[in-house]
Amino acid sequence: MSKREQKIARRKLRSSYLTTIISISLVLFIIGLVGLLVLNANKLSSHVKENIGFSIILEDNIREVDMIRLQKNLDASDFVKSTKYITKEQAAKELIKDLGEDFVEFLGYNPLLPSIEVKLFAEYANPDSITKIENILLTNQQVKEVAYQKSLIEIVNKNIKKIGLILLVFSSMLFLISLSLINNTIRLSVYARRFIIKTMQLVGATSGFVRLPFLTRSLGHAFYSIIITYSLLGGVIYLMEKEFPELALLNDIDTLAALFLVVLIIGLLLVFLSTWFAVNKYLRLKSNELYF
């Protein structure tokens, strides 16, 4: 083989490697985006639920010591995330601000009652749990009423379930497509070297010896692809947080570490298995079958 032919062969080989790396990177990037969406969808649903609470309307003549005791008992409960005591005066100021006029001056007195705003943990922010909590609270003589929007809570929980199901189906389909794309990319790469596999086998190389360089090269490609994927995901996360600062609360270190670990495991595992099965296929074929 002349030097010119050798250069062309090396150039084609490098081009093939680069194409494989880019293809795997793009597929892993799609998987990473889906993973980011799934992880944040769960946290976002929890964030929405934990911002839906209820108000405990207290009796007008409640003593401060009784109010403090009730609030401390609530804070110590497993289902309560946070509480906030609102006096009659604070409630009046907020309502005057919303209405744009002083109803206290018009009525001559403040008809509002003191209350405690309660935010629940996500797992308790559903109609059944809130109803049970409401029944427990109403046994307290200092509690006049438990106010919350039951229809809103039902709608939020119902829609979150629907969105979760749709996201699960979409993620599963996209994962299967990604799996197929990586598998086809590896198979094409191995297919181009099928004669080398058979030649090594004919000169007495064992299956493990033939398989090793292909697995090593593929895992190397996967490693470079994962680095590229991390860079792309990092760029997307940076842009998301820049455009939507509130999302910075969702993309915490634990979430991102879990996402990058999942991409690493999926990338290495899919490339390893695809290469293993592709090489084994050509190890089993006879020489005359390589042309078909």
Tell me the DSSP string of 217-244. Answer: HHHHHHHHHHHHHHHHHHHHHHHHHHH-
Token pair in block for residue 268: 């290495």
For 160, other C-beta atoms within 10 Å of its C-beta total 20
Sequence length of the chain is 292
Residue 1 confidence class, pLDDT cut points 50, 70, 90: very low
Q: What share of the chain has pLDDT > 70, as a percent?
A: 89
Separation of alpha carbons 128 and 7, rounded Å: 72
Residue 33 · residue 233 · CB < 8 Å: yes
How many angstroms separate the Cα of 220 from the Cα of each of 21, 114, 209?
9, 66, 17
Range ranked top by mean pLDDT from 56-65, 104-113, 259-268: 259-268
How many angstroms separate the Cα of 278 from the Cα of each of 149, 169, 221?
58, 29, 16
Residue 126 · residue 153 · CB < 8 Å: yes
pLDDT of residue 290: 60
CATH architecture for residues 53-124? 2-Layer Sandwich (3.30)
In this predicted structure, the answer to whether residue 151 has a pLDDT above a threshold of 80 is: no
In this predicted structure, the answer to whether residue 126 has a pLDDT above a threshold of 80 is: yes
Report strand pairing: 143-147 vs 115-120: unpaired
Indicate the domain borders of the chain. Answer: 3-47+156-291, 53-124
Q: Of 19-33, 206-220, 221-235, 275-289, give the lowest mean pLDDT range.
A: 275-289
Separation of alpha carbons 233 and 238, rounded Å: 8
Range ranked top by mean pLDDT from 40-49, 69-78, 170-179, 278-287: 69-78
Backbone angles phi, psi at 76, to 5 degrees: -85, -10
pLDDT of residue 227: 92
Separation of alpha carbons 9 and 231, rounded Å: 31
Q: What is the mean pLDDT of the chain?
A: 79
Sheet holding 115-120, edge to edge: 80-86, 115-120, 53-58, 143-147
In this predicted structure, the answer to whether residue 35 has a pLDDT above a threshold of 50 is: yes
Contacts of 219 (CB under 8 A, 6+ apart): 268, 271, 272
Separation of alpha carbons 107 and 197, rounded Å: 93
In this predicted structure, the answer to whether residue 193 has a pLDDT above a threshold of 70 is: yes
pLDDT of residue 106: 72
